[in-house]
Amino acid sequence: METNSFILKGNICYSKNKDELSVTENGYLVCVEGISKGVFLQLPEKYKGLPVKDHGNALILPGMTDLHVHAPQYTFRGMGMDLELLEWLETHTFPEESRYQELDYAEKAYGIFTDDLKRSATTRAVVFATIHGPATRLLMDKLEASGLKTYVGKVNMDRNCADYLREPSPEASLEATERWIAETMGQYRNTSPILTPRFVPTCSDALLAGLGDLRRKYGLPVQSHLSENLSEIGWVKELCPWSSCYGDAYARFGLFGGEAKTVMAHCVHSTEEEVELIRANGVYVAHCPQSNTNLSSGIAPIRKYLDKGIQVGLGTDVAGGADLSMFRCMADAVAVSKLRWRLADQELKALTTEEAFYLATVGGGSFFGKVGSFEEGYEFDALIADDSGVRCARTLTVEDRVKRYVYLAQEQGRLVSKYVAGRQVMGKM
């Protein structure tokens, strides 16, 4: 359906701000040309000609942004979850990622990933692919067709990984990357390229310097990993003795915020200096609580980042995280923040469900612009959630039902439909 001016009726909930949910029972949510016009209890006269879809007692929520997910790792999610990061990369990740040089395999695997992402609560995602340009393009074709809005990165790595996955030289990696940029930049409506050095240990200084040049030349955003694991941080110190912190090893090459819109996954063990660099450069932190737990990485001090005004969103980090659910991601963010408060640092209080909801919607959404809210002027990304299968003897408020859905979505919850920028991408039309 091309026309994207309409009204959704139901129980509407979104983040007014980080600490507060706006809840309207039996309200009207107006979309005009893909943009939200706001939520109304009484429908204003000027919108009365628009078609209304009545969703009865269902919950209407903003779409969610997965700020960090690895598409090729979807095939082995839930496996090797008893290993730590560097061992897990060697055992599971690198061998699997090498399979994407075969397009037949990529076709099958990326088809499954895209189908499942489309059915999930995610409306926008920032995605890692592999080093393979052709397979990355194939993934972008599939994501484009899904209607979801995505940034997708062809990965760069020219050192410290198995031969079968190492690009032969910085020059070869840069040349393949520039070819891939030429083939994909501006070619899609929903999907755009993002520069993706895997992380400092697998990228030589020459490669990072060349990626910095490509960034300036094409004005592309950047994604990578930062301070996830203590052994990894020690390794970066050895590889880049000139750097003052891990983040500085990206910043030196113009790949750390400022002019470059940048998202860094994890930031579990960032030093004070690194946190200040993240803040000053406007770098986004993609908090991936399930992955950080599965790979024994630690717990990122998200409360500190929020207090400092750092931009934070949530990521599933499949397959460090085992599933694509952003609801599960929110619940995990709250849970690990409580453990951190209890076990490590009682000065940083735990996250609330309201805050986790904000991070999954507005927090990560802002990487894409005005996204993640139903306030007037935001792009219209919406989910219709049916929680009638989650049975309860009590009568609950809409706010209780939303908070409960965060925890119980996977039990008996059901997404009925989904809109991205005003276009319905899932559910009965």
Residues of this chain that interact with Zn ion (CB under 5 A) are 265, 317
Taking the complex as a whole, how short is the minimal distance between the CB of residue 27 and Zn ion, in angstroms?
38
Report the residue number, 67 or 109, with the smaller CB distance to Zn ion.
Answer: 67
Taking the complex as a whole, how short is the minimal distance between the CB of residue 222 and Zn ion, in angstroms?
14
Taking the complex as a whole, how short is the minimal distance between the CB of residue 289 and Zn ion, in angstroms?
13
Taking the complex as a whole, how short is the minimal distance between the CB of residue 148 and Zn ion, in angstroms?
19
**Terminal CA-CA length for the chain:** 8
Distances (CA, A) of 181 to 152, 171, 175, 213, 214: 11, 15, 10, 13, 9
Rounded to 5 degrees, φ, ψ at 248 are -65, -30
Report the residue number, 72 or 212, with the smaller CB distance to Zn ion.
Answer: 72
Report the residue number, 317 or 332, with the smaller CB distance to Zn ion.
Answer: 317
Taking the complex as a whole, how short is the minimal distance between the CB of residue 313 and Zn ion, in angstroms?
14
Taking the complex as a whole, how short is the minimal distance between the CB of residue 291 and Zn ion, in angstroms?
7
Taking the complex as a whole, how short is the minimal distance between the CB of residue 111 and Zn ion, in angstroms?
22
Report the residue number, 265 or 322, with the smaller CB distance to Zn ion.
Answer: 265
Report the residue number, 11 or 262, with the smaller CB distance to Zn ion.
Answer: 262
Report the residue number, 158 or 317, with the smaller CB distance to Zn ion.
Answer: 317
Report the residue number, 73 or 114, with the smaller CB distance to Zn ion.
Answer: 73
Distances (CA, A) of 185 to 156, 177, 194, 351, 379: 17, 11, 9, 38, 22
- Distance between CA atoms of 400 and 407, rounded to whole angstroms? 11
Report the residue number, 7 or 143, with the smaller CB distance to Zn ion.
Answer: 143
> Which residues have C-beta within 8 Å of that of residue 58, sequence separation ≥ 6?
10, 11, 384, 385, 386, 387, 416
Q: What is the CA radius of gyration of the chain?
A: 21
Q: At what angle are helices 103-119 and 133-146 packed, to 10 degrees?
A: 30
Report the residue number, 71 or 251, with the smaller CB distance to Zn ion.
Answer: 71
Taking the complex as a whole, how short is the minimal distance between the CB of residue 235 and Zn ion, in angstroms?
16
Report the residue number, 265 or 333, with the smaller CB distance to Zn ion.
Answer: 265
Taking the complex as a whole, how short is the minimal distance between the CB of residue 317 and Zn ion, in angstroms?
5
Taking the complex as a whole, how short is the minimal distance between the CB of residue 73 and Zn ion, in angstroms?
8
Name the residue among 32, 66, 67 with its Cα closest to residue 47. 32
Taking the complex as a whole, how short is the minimal distance between the CB of residue 265 and Zn ion, in angstroms?
5
Report the residue number, 15 or 73, with the smaller CB distance to Zn ion.
Answer: 73
